[in-house]
Chains A and B, each alone.
Chain A
Amino acid sequence: MMRFLRRSYAMLILGFLYLPILILIVFSFNASKSRATWEGFTLRWYGELIESEAILDALSNTLSVAVLSSLIATVIGTLAAYAIYREMGSWERKLSMNLTYIPLLNPDIVTGISLMLLFIFAGMKLGFGSLLLSHVIFNVPYVILTVLPKLRQFDQHLYEAALDLGASPAYAFRHIVLPEILPGIVTGALFAFTLSVDDFVISFFTTGSGVNNLSILIYSMARRGIHPTINALSTLLFLTVLVLLIAVNLRMEKKVKREARR
């Protein structure tokens, strides 16, 4: 009895989470513009989607900002984590950590408008550049927080041994420290990438006219009303996410099995 109740509850919650997405997918193939009636199968909305310059433009902006900002933030964040871990005294480290945490704790809307004010104040033209810079800025703390634990696990003596054996600090960092903390760096980069793809609020305030990413485009389209091309877009994005997640999960499972066999 308890088991039945538990299962039904879990199904109910999952239904709540998935039903809206499922319905978007189903109606992306509906010939009718209405969401209430099914009038036959069509791929028309997908066709309109692919031909829409605005959407393709936004997609390319989203992807290039995500790739560039996560790469840049990963480099800056890794070096910053290294600085926090190795180069700072305890008082300095506490202050630096608190400053690192602020963007994480601040509401997105405050981060967004504060960066907008900064860019305007600095005389920077709002557009692709400011959008990219703001993504780098909000991604750096996430990279620091994934790399720092790896640095803490790292055995200091290895680094010191390398120095004793005549390695320069830069050489020791590249050949001893870096390989050890690489998993943290990769996690941080992936984290940064997904945050960048998903961001709306900060982008909304820091971009200029004419430069849209997908989130901003969806927002402006949704405000004008409901259109089936957005359903088609949702379907494609959802399937992409699903395929990626399943692929990552399968790879992880294989890895776990391989390690178990050893």
Chain B
Amino acid sequence: MGRRLYAYPYHLWTFLFTVVPLALIVYFAFTARDTAAFTLDNLRQAAQPVYLGVLWHSVWLAGVSTFLCLLIGYPMAMILAKSRVRYRRMLTMLIVVPMWMNFLLRTYAWMTLLEKNGAVNAFLGFLGLPALHILYTDYAVLLGMVYNFLPFMILPIYSVLMKMDKSLLEAAEDLGADAWTSFRRVTFPLSLPGVYAGTIMVFMPAVTTFVISRLLGGGQYMLAGNVIEQQFLAIGNWNFGSALSVLMMILIFLSMIGLSRYDKDSDGGLFL
């Protein structure tokens, strides 16, 4: 009696606001725009070279920015884990603070910096170096992605490194491993769960972004997110937009399943 007071309302909640919205996307993806009859045309349209190119471009840029975040972020995570307790708290705090600032403002900051008459070029001119013209190119988009998502790579790796058993490193040293070997054979393999978590947390927002590409890429370099946005808000072709969203979801769930297979430490619950 009263035992199931809240269970049913929550089932209703998830059904209405999680299941139904996703079902709507799937419904639109598989129906024709004018007749609402079942069709695969929307998916076929998404397989056109133009859109495959856009999709590939998004995956490529997100992949490169994830790799750059790993390359830049891993040493920072190690430095954090090795620093003394007093500095460590301050450093983590300093890394977290920019994340609290509105995401759009951070991206906007790079717009002003990279402008033709922006601060970066003023500085380069001051040094007598030639000006950079990367605003509204892929390089600016990459920069924006790395800047926005770098903390998402640093923090999970750092938290795994902190939990690592330090005596393993001493053991490796006792057994004659030099610093590089013990990093390659001990530290890095043990930090892989953090690397996977960071990879997901960077790759996912990067591959679906439409803001960074719109503001820093200037519009001529369209990513998948931009096409979806355009289909829904400008062109009004919900069916094609839904088909692209379904592809996007499949891509992300596949890459997450792929990565979580290697993550043996996870608590489960992500996938039945």
Chain A residues in contact with chain B, CB under 8 A?
6, 9-10, 13-14, 16-21, 23-24, 27, 34-37, 76, 79-80, 82-84, 86-88, 92, 94-103, 105-111, 113-118, 121, 137, 140, 169, 194, 197-198, 200-201, 205, 214-215, 218-219, 222-223, 226, 230-231, 233-234, 237-238, 241-242, 245, 249
Contacts and interface: CB of A to CB of B under 8 A. Distances in A.
Given A117-B25, A140-B13, A205-B232, 6 more contacts: A13-B76, A101-B269, A201-B211, A218-B102, A219-B211, A234-B101
13 contacts: A14-B91, A23-B109, A23-B119, A92-B7, A107-B204, A107-B248, A110-B245, A117-B21, A194-B100, A201-B210, A226-B115, A234-B102, A245-B93
Taking chain A's interface residues, is the majority helix, strand, or loop, or is none over half, making it mixed?
A: helix
Interface string B209-241: 011001100000000010011001100001001
Interface residues of B, number: 82
Interface string B236-272: 0010011001001100110010000000000001111
Contacts of A169: 2, 5
Contacts of A80: 6, 10, 13
A34 B94 contact: no
Contacts of B207: 107
Contact of B103 (A10, A86, A106, A200): A200
A19 B4 CA distance: 54
B171 interface: no
Contacts of A21: 98, 101, 106, 109
Residue with the highest number of chain B CB atoms closer than 10 Å, among A27, A36, A114: A114
A104 to B, nearest CB: 9
A230 B249 contact: no
Nearest to A114: B21
B67 interface: no
Nearest to A79: B6
A241 B100 contact: yes
B19 interface: yes
B7 A87 contact: yes
Taking chain B's interface residues, is the majority helix, strand, or loop, or is none over half, making it mixed?
A: helix
Contacts of A113: 25, 228, 232, 241-242, 245
Contact of A218 (B75, B108, B118, B210): B108
Given A113-B241, A140-B13, A105 B109 contact: no
B3 interface: yes
Contacts of A249: 93
Contact of A237 (B102, B113, B119, B225): B102
A20 B248 contact: no
Contact of A20 (B17, B20, B103, B147): B147
A96 to B, nearest CB: 7
A20 B104 contact: no
Contacts of A9: 75-76, 79
Contacts of B103: 198, 200, 215
